[in-house]
Amino acid sequence: MKKAHILSLLFISAAFILSGCGDSAETLINWDGDKAGTLEIFNGSSKDMVLFSGQVPNRNSVIGGVRAGATRKFDPSKHVDDFSVGGYMVIRGISRDEFNANELNLEAAKIEYSAMATYGAGKSYRITIDLTYTGDYGFKVTNKGRIGMELRKNSPEGEKVAYLPRLQVNQVVYTQTTDAITLFPVYVFFNNLTGEVNTLYATSMFESVMATPRPLTNPSGVQTYGFPNDDGLSWEQIVGTLKAPVAYITVTNNVMGQGAYFTNAGSTTLYSQNGYDAIGSGEQLMFEIAGSEEGVERFLVVKLYNGVVMVPVRVEGQDTYPIIKNGYEYAVTVRGSGQDPSAYTAFITEGKKRDLSDQLISQ
């Protein structure tokens, strides 16, 4: 056999062997999702997104992919050890193009999405990838606190811009324009004892920061912001100022065969803590409803049969609006049947105020 022919065969064999080493990018990504999964992700961006669990993307932490404009379900139990108990996981997202470009070093990929997702046996959760916070502009943010936080736009009740795990450093927040954004830190953590998410914000410090996005192609012009923004405050001082901005209302729908909306005044649909807009028959969901420290009347209405049946939330035996106090737990039970709206009730009871001090210290 001629030497040139032998070399040619060797090169072909080497190329074949190398091409078979490791999985390709596409074989790592499940674009179909898990139909029985409990984590539902809607991709509202214009990019196909690849999702990972944990702080740093790597091949072993790939959850799967969601096409632009699509919704997919995933199974968190494949990625955690305490699914039966419940907890939360950090979700990171990078574009499909970015994934392919950095396939051999995913840690260097541009992370355009970050969120906290709750999980637990029998529980569902829904998160959304927002088109607004993917783009070529941005700024960096650092969480100097000991619990995770959401950054919200314009107010503590505003839209979620990003999620920062505890002590996260220099996370990039991407935007599509250079328009300034006023950010408020809202502390969010998972209570392993109750299996619920707690949301807190600081009330006695200047917590807002105006961020100015700049082109990421010019690193020297990209600003970095730390939260909380007062370096003179110790963590103990911060903890002392934290208060719940909402009440925690658990709604149980005992109406057979009918989903129910939990609404403000019968018009604005309220979304549950795990991201759902309606409570299924026999289902129980948690809602965060803004009240006040002293308590404020809230006109809450349960809507059934597409609004044909509107059931005001009442304290049993009273005909007044319930008083909602921030930090307290409430329970609403919806009952009734038939075509007469008066046959339906949605009674509310007040529980205890949540004591979060031990959990904050231990985070």
324-339: per-residue pLDDT in tens?
999 899 999 999 999 9
pLDDT at 243 over 50: yes
* Distance (Å, whole) CA 146 – CA 10: 57
Indicate whether 179 and 65 sit together in one domain: yes
User: Is 6 part of any domain?
Assistant: no
Residue 18: pLDDT band (50, 70, 90) is very low
Indicate whether 273 and 134 sit together in one domain: no
Indicate whether 259 and 237 sit together in one domain: no
Q: How many domains does the chain have?
A: 2
- Please work out, in degrees rounded to the nearest 5, the angle formed at the alpha carbon of residue 39 by the alpha carbons of 91 and 88: 50
Indicate whether 210 and 282 sit together in one domain: no
Indicate whether 76 and 195 sit together in one domain: yes
In this prediction, residue 71 carries a pLDDT of 93
Indicate whether 231 and 283 sit together in one domain: no
User: Is 270 part of any domain?
Assistant: yes
Indicate whether 45 and 125 sit together in one domain: yes
Indicate whether 200 and 162 sit together in one domain: yes
For the chain, what is the total number of helices (H) and then of strands (E)?
A: 5, 27
Greater pLDDT, 243 or 263: 263
Give the least confident one: 49-63, 92-106, 199-213, 341-355: 199-213
User: Is 218 part of any domain?
Assistant: yes
For the residues 252-267, what does the mean pLDDT come to?
94
Residue 321: which CATH number?
A: 2.60.40
Side-chain half-sphere exposure of 206, counting CA atoms within 13 A: 6
User: Is 16 part of any domain?
Assistant: no
Indicate whether 202 and 263 sit together in one domain: no
User: Is 5 part of any domain?
Assistant: no
- Please work out, in degrees rounded to the nearest 5, the angle formed at the alpha carbon of residue 127 by the alpha carbons of 178 and 192: 120
In this prediction, residue 66 carries a pLDDT of 94
User: Is 17 part of any domain?
Assistant: no
Indicate whether 114 and 192 sit together in one domain: yes
Residue 354: pLDDT band (50, 70, 90) is confident
Boundary residue ending a domain (199, 225, 243):
243
Q: What are the beta bridge partners of residue 292? A: 325
Indicate whether 69 and 130 sit together in one domain: yes
Tell me the residue length of the chain. 363
User: Is 341 part of any domain?
Assistant: yes
Residue 200: pLDDT band (50, 70, 90) is confident
**Tens-digit pLDDT profile for residues 173-190:** 888 889 999 988 888 777
Indicate whether 218 and 354 sit together in one domain: no
Which domain range does residue 327 map to? Answer: 247-358
Q: For the chain, what percent of residues have pLDDT higher than 90? A: 32
Closest among 142, 139, 57 to 98, alpha carbons compared: 57
In this prediction, residue 79 carries a pLDDT of 82
* Residue 255 vs residues 40, 174, 248: alpha-carbon distances, Å: 25, 44, 22
User: Is 12 part of any domain?
Assistant: no
